[in-house]
Structure formats: C-alpha cells, structure tokens
C-alpha cells in the first residue's frame, strides 16, 4: 500500500493550537487603541498605557496561543486576563457609563471557540463580576435608580451573550463529536482497506484518468518487480511490455479488459476494470500470477497427447500396412506390365506415398511440443503464403481478405492452424471459388474465418469434432482439427465451428493484438 497501515497517529482528541482566538483578541486591542487615539483628550493617558500594555501582552502570548494546549486551559489563560484588562479600562473611563463596557461582551463572544457550553456561561459570570466591580468603583457619586438600571442592563446583556455563546458552543461541540466519530470510522476503514490489500496475493493498481498510479499493494510490487514507491508514476513506466492493456485504457471499448503479460519468467494475467464516480480512481488493474495454471495446462496437454500417441501408434501401424502392401504388389506387377500399365501403377504408388506422408505429417504436427513466441508479422503476407501453398496452381480460386496490417502472433502456430483449416475446406468443397478466408479486427484482437461449401459437418462426429481420430474420411487419422484445437489452446485463442446454409465456417479468435492496421486484400 502507498500508505503505511502501521503508522502511528495522534488520537482524535489530540491537543490543537488555537491561533484564531489570539488573532481576534489582538484585533480588539488594536480597535480600542485606535479609539483612544481618536479621542486623546477625553481619557487619561494611563488608559492608553493600559491598552498598549494589553496589546504588548497579546504579542507576547502569540507563541503561547500557537501551542497545542488543552482548549479550556488555552482559552482561560487568554480570556480571563482580558476581563481584568477590560475592568481596568472601564474603571478609568467612567465606570458603568464607560463606552468600553462593550469589551466584556466581545470577550464572552470569544468563548465560542472553546466549544464548551459551561465555560461560556462561567466566563460571562466572570465578565459580569468584573464589570460590576469596575463599574461600582469607577462611580464618583452614590448609585441612583438610573445607575442601577444601567448595571442591570449591562450585566443582562453580558449574560445573554454568554447564554447564546453557550448554546452555540453546545452545537459546535455536538458537531465536533460527530466529526470525530466520522474520522474514527474513516481511519478504521482506511486501516481495514490497507490490511485487506496488503493481505491479498493478487496485485492491485489504482489508476486515475491520466493513467497515473494512485494506490497499490505490496503484491503488485512483487509480481511486477517494481521499486518501493510508484505513486504518481504513469502506467507505461510500470508495465512497459503490456502494450495491449495500455491501448485499451486509451480507447476503452468496454468496462472490463484482460490480457496476459510476461514478467521475470512468470505469466501474469492483467485485468482492468473501470470504476465509476471518482477521477482519482478511474481504473483498477489486478495482477495475478497464472504461471502454475499455464504449467498445469501444458502438463495436462502433454499427458493427453501421450495417451493419444499410444492409440495413434496402433492406428498408424494399421494405416501404414495397407499402403505398403499396395506398393509391394505394385512392385511385382510393374516388372511384367506394359508401358500404359506401368504409368497406372506408378500413379497408384504416388498416391499411396502421398497418403503415407499426410499420415506421418499429421502425427508429427500433433505430437510436437508447443511454446508460443509471438512477434509482429504482416497479416496479408501470412494469409497469401498459406493460400498459395494450399492451392499453388490456383485451381480452387480461394478468395481471401486480410483487414489487418500487422498481427502479434507466433507465425508458425498461426500457419499450422490456417493450413489445416484450408486443407479440410479444400477437401470438403473442391469447386472453384467455394472456399473463403477472412482475417479482420475483432474487439481488441483479430478473427480468422475459413468457410466452405462442403455440405456441413457429419452428425456422427459433430460432438467430438476437435478430438483426436474424429474423422468421417477414410484417408486420414482425424488429427488435423485436433491439432488446430491444441495450437489454439496453447496460444489462448478460441476456435469453434458454425453451420452455414451451404457448408461450414471455422472461426479462430484472439482477444489481444499489438495494434491494428489498414485493410489489405487479395
């Protein structure tokens, strides 16, 4: 994971600095000082000195206000001395009739930053007490009814402000507690997310819209053999060889795509899934090591092949014996025959030799090991060579079309598939123009279709068409389509046969290709 799940974090209740309260107090002090400068002859200079002292004390308290103290301690250390300063100013500027009595209300307003309702009420009581003491001591004559009403009005206003601030503080405290609960839940989910991803054996890459890595787990680094931190790195730097995946992500044709890639001798299955509603998490790419699956598939194929070879050996011995007997009889007859008879016997011998060659070739093609080595090849050239080899004199007039410029394939394996399908099609429908080969783009890969007018598949072998020795002809072992199926499975191609009104169409598909090109035809 890009985040460390074991990282030590401060608790939610960690002590936070409160520079906002200090700034508000400093502004009040500056405002009072400007008011005194505006009326310099009204109040004694000692008041100005007190305000200057208050402002200097605020500047001295500035580092203290930025320290992570408990909110109650921090506010008490700032606001209670302010009440004393305000009381001194009120005392020196007219007592209960001082215009600076408003300072007590402003000081109580600052208590809302603490989010403690009881503190706001307590501070309003302290402010009222300070106002009453300073107002009474600042009087030069005994209190009358008007003075008493003035005291009650001011103290009621201060208590009202304290009550309102208490209510706001209670609301703010409730919001803070809700926020804390959400933060705790969010952090627990983050830890769970981190533990789940780090515990997975499958690699995970989270990509944004620009295909930059936004998140990952340790399994992805191990499978792709990447450095410790790849956050912010583009996909093409992480998966240099996976051109098909990068091409899909640039021009997606769906919400899910998968392909295989080689890394350090391992076969990796890459699967991209589009995620909705988040530009920072647009794609999730999973990486799974399927090397053991491919090894098991190859082992199973080899075992199936060995079992088939045992059966093939007995069948081949039987099939070879008949041509050998025919050729032995021809050898005896050719010495006593005339010229015309000799030519006829020579033709029979040649046919039997060709039959033997086909039998041996089919057996060798089916028995040889398969390990794909894909490279870029010109698609039209491969199809053209296959058609020319199957019909060198052009007697069958095979129609073909290649709608790809290049293909990322093992050319030998592709030719083995195409040659067998062409051979079957030409034998099934030898009429001119009855066989057609089409190669065209299909999703992110390609599709090969070989169709004929041979009348369809024999119902007796339809269910086991791609099994060894499944054939309706008397001149073959039934290994051609079995070889096609084997080659397709090794290369992760899909093969199937479809019935057409006039014959059969064999279709081979691949979901991956290096890149598509322009059309070419023949």
Task: Report pLDDT for 83.
Answer: 82
The contacts of residue 50 (CB under 8 Å, 6+ apart) are 85, 88, 89, 92
Task: Report pLDDT for 505.
Answer: 92
pTM of the model: 0.42
Q: Which residues pair with 182 in a beta bridge?
A: none
Task: Report pLDDT for 11.
Answer: 41
In terms of C-beta density within 10 A (0-12 exposed, 13-18 middle, 19 or more buried), how is residue 362 classed? buried
For the chain, the straight-line distance linking the first and the last C-alpha, in angstroms and rounded, comes to: 54
CA distance 97 to 147: 9
130: closest CA among 77, 82, 163, 61? 82
Buried b / exposed e along 304-335 (16+ C-beta atoms within 10 A): ebeebeeebeebbeebeeebeebeeebeeebe
50: closest CA among 2, 8, 5, 98? 98
CA distance 211 to 271: 14
Name the CA dihedral angle for 367, 369, 374, 375, rounded to a multiple of 10 degrees: -80
Phi, psi (5° rounding) for residue 33?
-65, -40
3: closest CA among 217, 203, 200? 217
What count of other Cβ atoms lies within 10 Å of the Cβ of residue 483? 23
Task: Report pLDDT for 516.
Answer: 39
Token look-up 């057996």 returns 363
3-class secondary structure, 230: coil
Largest CA distance in the chain: 163
Q: Specify the long-range contacts of residues 194-197, CB closer than 8 Å, at least 24 apart.
A: 194/1, 194/3, 194/4, 194/5, 195/5, 197/1
For every one of its 522 residues, what pLDDT tens digit does the chain have, with 9 covering 90 and above?
Answer: 444 444 444 443 434 445 556 666 666 666 666 666 655 555 666 666 666 677 676 666 666 555 555 667 777 777 777 788 788 878 877 777 777 788 888 888 877 777 778 888 888 888 888 888 888 787 766 777 887 888 888 888 888 888 888 888 888 888 888 888 888 888 888 787 677 766 667 888 888 888 888 888 888 877 877 777 788 888 777 776 666 777 777 777 667 787 877 777 778 888 888 887 667 788 888 888 888 887 887 788 777 767 766 666 665 665 566 667 667 777 777 777 777 777 777 777 777 777 677 667 766 666 666 678 888 899 999 999 999 888 888 888 899 999 988 898 988 889 889 988 998 888 888 788 889 999 999 877 899 999 998 878 777 777 777 776 666 555 555 677 888 888 888 888 999 988 888 889 999 998 877 543 333 334
Task: Report pLDDT for 521.
Answer: 37
DSSP strands (E only) in 189-305:
203-207, 213-216, 256-263, 266-274, 283-289
285: closest CA among 313, 332, 320, 244? 244
3-class secondary structure, 470: coil
Task: Report pLDDT for 8.
Answer: 42
CA distance 90 to 132: 10
Task: Report pLDDT for 249.
Answer: 77
Q: Which residues pair with 436 in a beta bridge?
A: 399, 451
């Amino acid at each position: 994971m890009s985040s460390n799940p074991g990282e030590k974090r401060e608790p939610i209740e960690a002590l936070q600095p409160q520079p906002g309260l200090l700034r508000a107090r400093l502004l009040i002090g500056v405002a009072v000082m400007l008011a005194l400068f505006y009326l310099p002859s009204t109040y004694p200079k000692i008041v100005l000195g007190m305000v200057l002292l208050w402002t200097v004390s605020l500047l001295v308290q500035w580092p203290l206000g930025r320290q992570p103290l408990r909110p109650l301690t921090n506010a008490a250390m700032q606001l209670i001395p302010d009440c004393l300063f305000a009381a001194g100013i009120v005392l020196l500027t007219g007592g209960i009739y001082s215009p600076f009595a408003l300072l007590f209300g402003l000081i109580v307003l600052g208590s809302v930053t603490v989010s403690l309702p009881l503190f706001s009420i307590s501070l309003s009581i302290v402010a009222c007490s300070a106002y009453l003491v300073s107002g009474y001591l600042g009087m030069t004559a005994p209190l009358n009814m008007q003075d008493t009403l003035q005291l009650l009005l001011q103290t009621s206003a201060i208590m009202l402000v304290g009550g309102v601030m208490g209510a706001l503080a209670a609301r703010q405290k409730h919001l803070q507690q809700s926020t804390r609960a959400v933060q705790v839940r969010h952090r627990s989910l983050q830890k769970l997310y981190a533990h789940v991803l780090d515990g997975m054996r499958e690699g995970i890459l989270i990509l944004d819209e620009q295909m930059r890595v936004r998140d990952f787990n340790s399994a992805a680094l191990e499978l792709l053999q990447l450095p410790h931190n790849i956050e912010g790195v583009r996909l093409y730097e992480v998966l240099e060889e996976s051109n098909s995946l990068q091409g899909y992500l640039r021009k997606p044709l769906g919400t899910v795509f998968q392909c295989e890639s080689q890394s350090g001798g391992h076969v990796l299955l890459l699967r991209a899934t589009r995620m909705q509603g988040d530009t920072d998490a647009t794609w999730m790419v999973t990486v799974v090591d399927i090397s053991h699956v491919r090894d098991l598939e190859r082992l199973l194929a080899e075992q199936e092949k060995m079992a088939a070879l045992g059966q093939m050996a007995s069948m081949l011995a039987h099939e070879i014996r008949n041509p050998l007997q025919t050729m032995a009889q021809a050898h005896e007859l050719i010495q006593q025959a005339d010229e015309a008879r000799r030519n006829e016997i020579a033709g029979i011998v040649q046919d039997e030799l060709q039959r033997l060659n086909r039998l041996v070739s089919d057996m060798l093609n089916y028995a040889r090991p398969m390990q794909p080595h894909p490279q870029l090849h010109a698609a039209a050239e491969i199809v053209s060579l296959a058609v020319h080899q199957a019909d060198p004199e052009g007697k069958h007039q095979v129609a073909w079309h290649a709608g790809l410029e290049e293909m990322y394939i093992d050319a030998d394996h592709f030719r083995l598939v195409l040659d067998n399908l062409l051979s079957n099609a030409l034998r099934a429908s030898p009429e001119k123009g009855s066989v057609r080969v089409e190669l065209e783009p299909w999703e992110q890969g390609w599709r090969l279709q070989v169709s004929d007018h041979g009348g369809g598949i024999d119902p007796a072998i339809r269910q086991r068409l791609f099994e060894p020795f499944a054939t309706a002809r008397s001149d073959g072992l039934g290994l051609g389509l079995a070889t096609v199926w084997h080659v397709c499975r090794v290369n992760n191609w899909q093969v199937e046969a479809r019935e057409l009104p006039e014959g059969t169409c064999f279709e081979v598909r691949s979901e991956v290709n290096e890149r598509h090109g322009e059309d070419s035809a023949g």
